[in-house]
Amino acid sequence: MDPVIRLSVSIDLFTYPDGTRAMSDIGLSVHNGEFVGILGSNGSGKTTLLRLMDGLLKDFSGSILLDGRDVRRLSAREIYSKVGLVFQSPDDQLFAPTVFEDVAFGPLNMGFQESEVRERVFAALRDVDMKGYENKAIHNLSYGQKKRICIAGLLAMGHEILLLDEPTAGLDPMGEYRMMSLLTSLSKDKGVTIVMATHSVDLVPLFLDRLYILSKGSIVRGGTPEEVFNTPDDMTQVKLRLPHIAEMIYRLKHDDHLPFSKVPLTVGEARREIINLFNRTDA
């Protein structure tokens, strides 16, 4: 793990103006180049946490440090040249009339030449599988297509830190998988730091380095996927579940007493475990 800490969050309390206590006793940190997940039930505070990290909500007690400096003290320009946030609902994020104009907005503001802007836009659209939609009106896109454009809009800017609020919700299974691979390669190859809120439990162990579990505005657990995905009951308590594969092997191991040595989280690992088991008993 890169020892440099990019984001360090410690929040005592955050309350929305209408009185909702949305966040309390949060402490977490994100290292450079890490791919960190935030899981939690609906209303547990994932979006709130990301918005806090992005400097959009300022009325909290505690501190949020971006590269060691308090986000509340930083100017918009200082924050947003480093950090990009993809909102949960695409309608909150897209504002230009056409796909091209929306994705080009960021690069244009960064002052690139027209040719560079076009290049970035097309590369970003390719990355999210939306090539050929440049001139389509945004409001005529399907939901999943809008979602992809949101992400493209940020990718085109090449931030060092990406905050993603359920980027794969509403994407088709293949799109989901590709998006996660893309993000992983950004993080592994280009050193982009990524924090992502998600409900896609099954994909987490395949891609994420580390994850935190939120419940009712507090962090109840954190660690690598192996450390966190423990027993099904722990997960149901916070309205989550194990990945389906883990669930199955867990049941086989504990209820059906098959002698699995560990509970794997992914299809690949599970295959290996089952084959091992099979060979062992076979022999």
Ligand X SMILES: Nc1ncnc2c1ncn2[C@@H]1O[C@H](COP(=O)(O)OP(=O)(O)OP(=O)(O)O)[C@@H](O)[C@H]1O
By the criterion CB under 8 A, which residues form the site for another protein?
17, 54, 56, 75-77, 80-81, 84-85, 87, 91-98, 100-101, 104-106, 108-111, 114, 117-118, 134, 139, 153-154, 157
Question: Which region, judged by CB under 8 A, interacts with a copy of itself, from 61-69, 99-107, 162-170, 219-227?
Answer: 162-170
Nearest to 23 by CA among 35, 36, 10: 10
Least distance in angstroms from the C-beta of 146 to ligand X: 8
Could you tell me how far CA 184 lies from the centroid of its own chain? Answer: 10
Q: How many residues of this chain bind a copy of itself (CB under 8 A)?
A: 58
Taking CB within 5 to 8 Å according to partner kind, which of ligand X, another protein, a copy of itself, none is near residue 100?
A: another protein
Among residues 133 and 229, whose Cβ is nearest to another protein? Answer: 133
Give the x-and-dash track for 118-157 against ligand X (CB under 6 A): ----------------------xxxxxx------------
Question: Which region, judged by CB under 6 A, interacts with ligand X, from 36-44, 72-80, 188-196, 260-268?
Answer: 36-44
Among residues 89, 98, 218, 230, the one that binds a copy of itself under rule CB under 8 A = 89
Environment class of 160 (CB within 10 Å of its CB; exposed 0-12, middle 13-18, buried 19+): middle
Identify any residues that bridge with 9 across adjacent strands, giving them in sequence order: 28, 64
CB 169 within 8 A of CB 88: yes
Quickly tell me which residue has 């020892």 as its tokens: 3
Question: Which region, judged by CB under 5 A, interacts with Mg ion, from 40-48, 53-61, 218-226, 234-242?
Answer: 40-48
Among residues 97, 173, 191, 223, the one that binds a copy of itself under rule CB under 8 A = 173
Among residues 44 and 93, whose Cβ is nearest to another protein? Answer: 93
Give CA–CA dist 71/272, Å, rounded. Answer: 46
Taking CB within 5 to 8 Å according to partner kind, which of Mg ion, ligand X, another protein, none is near residue 264?
A: none
Question: Which region, judged by CB under 8 A, interacts with a copy of itself, from 51-59, 72-80, 104-112, 165-173?
Answer: 165-173
CB 29 within 8 A of CB 7: yes
Give CA–CA dist 99/149, Å, rounded. Answer: 7
Pairing between strand 35-40 and 210-215? parallel
Residues in CB range of 24: below 8 A, 6 or more apart:
11, 12, 13, 14, 217, 218
Nearest to 121 by CA among 91, 143, 142, 152: 152
Site residues (vs ligand X, CB under 6 A): 16, 18, 20, 22, 40, 42-48, 88, 140-145
